[in-house]
Amino acid sequence: MSRSFTPKVVTGNALLEGDVIYLTEDDGWTRDLSRAEILTDEAHAQMRLLDAARRASEIVGTYLADVKPGPKGPEPTHFREEFRRSGPSEAARVPQETQNV
């Protein structure tokens, strides 16, 4: 059935903090992509997305992001998801003054 379906995770931003969050197997949220539920079946992925999107008081902007399975769990396939996972580049989040003084 799932011919060449790229594995997915359900992700979005937490309503209150705006953080990047991922759906876990037990219907929780994690900030750690490696602990997210990896979805390998297209129909199941759509169901999980609908379930998650219904939780409007917890998550904003829910979507399915491509991942690949890694030794420690799902990993991003695109650099945008890599930045979402890891936050701004290290140099971009260090306030200016500490770089200069």
Partner 1 sequence: MYDYTDFDAAFVAERNRQFRAQVERRIAGALTEDEFKPLRLMNGLYLQLHAYMLRVAIPYGTLNGRQMRRLAEIAERWDRGYGHFTTRQNIQFNWPALRDVPDILDALAEVEMHAIQTSGNTIRNVTADPFAGAAADEIADPRPVAELIRQWSTDHPEFQFLPRKFKIAVAGSPNDRAVTAAHDLALRIVERDGAIGYTVLVGGGLGRTPMIGQVINDFVPQADLLPYIEAVVGVWNLLGRRDNKYKARIKITLHEHGMDEIRSLVEARFIETRAAFSGIDVPLFEAIKAAFTPPSFAKRPVSAFERAYEADPVFRSWADTNLAEHRAEGHAIVQVSLKAHGAVPGDATSAQMRVLADIAEQFGHDELRISQDQNVILPHVHKADLPEIHARLKSHGLATANIGRVSDIVACPGMDYCALATARSIPVAQQIATRFDELKLEHEIGALRIKISGCINACGHHHVGHIGILGLDRAGVETYQITLGGDHTETAALGDRTGPGFGADEIVPAIERLVGAYLEHRDGKQETFLETYRRLGMAPFKAALYDQESRVAAE
Q: What one-character DSSP code corresponds to residue 39?
A: B
Of residues 56, 72, 76, 73, the one with CA closest to residue 64: 76
Q: How far is the CB of 80 from partner 1 (least distance, A)?
A: 7
Separation CA 54–CA 46 (nearest Å): 12
Interface residue with partner 1, options 1, 26, 71, 93 (CB under 8 A): 93
Q: Given candidates 24, 41, 60, 75, which one binds partner 1 under the rule CB under 8 A?
A: 60
- Which of 48/85 has CB closer to partner 1? 85
Instruction: Find out whether 39 and 10 touch, Cβ atoms under 8 Å.
Output: yes
User: Could you list the residues that contact partner 1 (CB under 8 A)?
Assistant: 13, 15-20, 56-57, 60-61, 77-80, 83-84, 87-89, 91-101
